[in-house]
Structures are given as C-alpha cells and as structure tokens.
C-alpha cells in the first residue's frame, strides 16, 4: 500500500518521524512534489477564501496526491505539549480537507492530543497502526525507531542547520558577513516556493541564517517564563521565545519576520516581538508578509533594502543627510 504525505505544514517538523514510522511498517511512502504554482492554485481553488496561505497550500498538496496513493496521511495535532495548543486550523484540518476536496482516497488521521499528558501523543501512533491493521507491538517498535530518527534530525538542527539543508544534504556555509535571524513558521521558511528562496538569497549575500529550530528549547522556555502570561500556542511560543533569545543575546545583526497573510498567531507574536525589540534591543527588523499573490520582485527589493540598511548602519550611521543631498554624497 502506498501512503501519501503532503509536503506542507508540519511536514518540515516531523518528516523523519513519519517517514521512518510508515517505512518501518512496510508501507511505501509517497511525498507530494515540492510546492509549485499549480499546487498553490489548486489549493486556492478548493479551500475557503478566508484561510491562510499554508492551509491553502496544504489543500493543494493533498489534491496533488489523489490518484497516486491508496491513503493520505493527515496529522491532526491538537496539542504537542501539556496545556498548550497548536493553531485552531490545524485542529480542524482533517474536517476542512474532507469537506472541501472531492474524490479523496482513504484518510489516515493521526489524532495527537497531548493537552492532558504527553503519553497520549504516543498512543496516537498506536491508534494509527491499528487503523492500518498493524499489531500494537509492531507499531510501538516502529515508533521507537522513528523517534530516534527524529531526535537525530533535531540535534542536527540545533547545530545550525536548517531543515532545507538536511533535506538537500547541502552543508556548505561559506565566509559570513553576519547573522540574520529568521522568525517564521517552518512551513513558510522551508517551503522554498512560499518563502521565495529567502534562506538561499540571504546566504548568497554572505549572511549566516539563524532559524527558530537552531535555538535550544531550554533557552526558549527560559525567555518565555518572563512573559506576563503563559503562551498557550506551542509554535507561537517557539517563535516568540527564539526571537527573544536572538534579540536578547544580540546574536543577530538583523531579524526578519516572515508571516503569511491572515496568520492569527503571527499577528500577536510578531506584534509582541516588534514591540519588545523597539523598547529594549533596537535591532534592525523587517516584517515580510506573503500570500498567494506575492511577487518575487517586490520581495527581492525589500530584502535588498533591508540588507543595505544593515550594512550602511555599520559604516555610516552617523551621517545624517542634510536637506537636499543623499547619504551617498551625490
């Protein structure tokens, strides 16, 4: 049996785990192709207008798997850590897919809810195995192996790689001019179509990129403890915590927030990060919002302007142009 995994949303967080789990149980895993204009368009057509870009992209990936596989794997992660949640749209994802896409094959829904306790998250995989007609012991064994792979992957990330590097096995980082922090959900940053190659563009300009996955969980927890109220979105916490850790340690020369239009969590997280940055750290920052209409040209211009600003700040911050002349002196 072929099981299809859409290359969208949490795929970038968990692909070693899912790959290995299904592979170990003896199924052939088919990943949907990388996001393209066609996939995005089919997603936009089938999804409700008000959903955010990543959800539309996910719809597109599911649609692209139809006819190629016998079952499609759809994770429903309600919560990955006790007393925390993930975005509401992730919780209702299987239902959204079911009611908006026609002609679906069998759906394998993973119901992962660790809101009460962490064990429940593991039980979800056993349940998933049961759906496939796999014995409990076999599922547990496959899960254990998969978890080892997942940990290996996460330790690579902590060393400064991004998921794209691990996917492409490209580890070359040359001479660097500085570090740029990138704050954004993994399904935006690492989808090269959505992020328009942001990471490679920054590297081409000679900057090292630091992503939320590079920041240790303990740092994130420590920073988030200082918030006036516990943040109840796991991924929101990761973004806010890693952003604050980068700013606080002055580990970055500039910070770019990548958000998708209509992202409810980013609206709050990035707002808070920007306010804290203005008040306490004053590190150059830019907010880039992408949606299904984003054009490369405007994106590139903003990126170039941002990098120019960081570089000029180092060389001529003291120069204040008199009326009528430019900073460059001509």
Q: Would you state the structure tokens that stand for residue 192, as one six-digit string?
A: 């090269």
What residues numbered 69-128 form the site for another protein, per CB under 8 A? Answer: 78, 83-89, 91-92, 95-96, 98-100
Least distance between another protein and beta carbon 308 (Å): 25
Tell me which residues in 229-248 interact with another protein (CB under 8 A): 229-233
d(C-alpha 29, C-alpha 1), whole Å: 9
Give me the residues paired with residue 256 across strands.
182, 286
Tell which one of 33, 261, 304, 314 touches another protein (CB under 8 A).
261
Count of residues that bind another protein according to CB under 8 A: 43
Ramachandran region of residue 98, left (φ > 0), alpha (ψ -120 to 50) or beta?
alpha
Return d(Cα 35, Cα 27) in angstroms, integer. 24
Closest CA to 87 of 220, 194, 217, 235: 235
Closest CB to another protein among 102 and 330? 102
Compute the least distance from the CB of residue 56 to another protein, in Å: 11
Give the range of 35-43, 47-55, 186-194, 319-327 binding another protein by CB under 8 A: 47-55
Tell me the C-alpha distance between 296 and 64, whole Å: 24
180 binds another protein (CB under 8 A): no
Whole-number minimum distance, CB 264 to another protein, in Å? Answer: 4
Burial of 205 (0-12, 13-18, 19+ CB in 10 A): middle
| Alpha-carbon separation of residue 312 from 28, 205, 251, 283, 307 (angstroms) | 52, 14, 19, 14, 9
Interacting positions 264-303 with another protein (CB under 8 A): 264-268, 270-272, 275, 278-279, 289
Q: Is residue 263 a contact residue for another protein (CB under 8 A)?
A: yes
User: Residue 71 in contact with residue 62, Cβ under 8 Å?
Assistant: no
Which residue, 207 or 233, has its beta carbon nearer to another protein? Answer: 233
Q: 191: closest CA among 15, 4, 7, 6?
A: 7
Choice between 3 and 128, CB closer to another protein:
128
Name the one range near another protein by CB under 8 A: 9-17, 203-211, 224-232, 305-313: 224-232
CA pair distance 146, 131, nearest whole angstrom: 18
Residues with Cβ within 8 Å of residue 328, at least 6 apart in sequence? none
Give the interface segment with another protein, choosing from 33-41, 187-195, 196-204, 255-263 (CB under 8 A). 255-263
- Out of 259, 277, 306, 310, the only residue in the binding site for another protein (CB under 8 A) is 259
Binds another protein (CB under 8 A): choice among 48, 148, 173, 204: 48
* Contacts to another protein by CB under 8 A: 47-48, 50-51, 55, 78, 83-89, 91-92, 95-96, 98-100, 227-233, 259, 261-268, 270-272, 275, 278-279, 289
């Amino acid at each position: 049996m072929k099981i299809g995994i859409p290359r969208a949303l949490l795929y970038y967080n968990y692909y070693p785990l899912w790959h290995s789990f299904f592979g170990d149980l003896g199924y052939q895993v088919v990943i949907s192709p990388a996001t393209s204009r066609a996939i995005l368009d089919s997603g936009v057509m089938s999804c409700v207008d008000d959903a955010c870009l990543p959800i539309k992209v996910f719809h597109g990936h599911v649609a692209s798997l139809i006819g190629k596989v016998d079952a499609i794997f759809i994770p429903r992660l309600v919560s990955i850590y006790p007393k925390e949640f993930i975005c509401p749209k992730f919780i209702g994802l299987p239902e959204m897919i079911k009611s908006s896409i026609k002609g679906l094959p069998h759906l394998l829904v993973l119901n992962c809810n660790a809101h009460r306790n962490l064990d429940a998250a593991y039980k979800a995989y056993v349940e998933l195995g049961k759906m496939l007609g796999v014995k409990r012991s076999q599922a547990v064994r496959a899960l254990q192996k998969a978890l080892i792979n997942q940990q290996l992957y996460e330790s690579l990330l902590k060393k400064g790689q991004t998921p794209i590097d691990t996917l492409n096995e490209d580890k070359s980082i040359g001479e660097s001019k500085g570090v740029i922090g990138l704050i954004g959900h993994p399904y935006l940053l690492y989808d090269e179509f959505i992020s328009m190659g942001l990471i490679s563009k920054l590297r081409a300009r000679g900057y090292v990129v630091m992503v939320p996955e590079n920041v240790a969980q303990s740092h994130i927890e420590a920073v988030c403890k200082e918030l006036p109220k516990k943040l109840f979105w796991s991924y929101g916490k990761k973004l806010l915590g890693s952003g604050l850790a980068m700013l606080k340690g002055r580990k970055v020369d500039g910070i770019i927030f990548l958000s998708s239009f209509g992202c409810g969590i980013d609206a709050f997280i990035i707002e808070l990060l920007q306010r804290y940055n203005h008040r306490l750290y004053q590190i150059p920052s830019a907010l880039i919002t992408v949606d299904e209409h984003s054009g490369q040209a405007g994106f590139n211009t903003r990126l170039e302007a941002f990098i120019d600003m960081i570089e000029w700040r180092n060389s001529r911050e003291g120069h204040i142009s008199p009326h009528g002349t430019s900073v460059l002196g001509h």
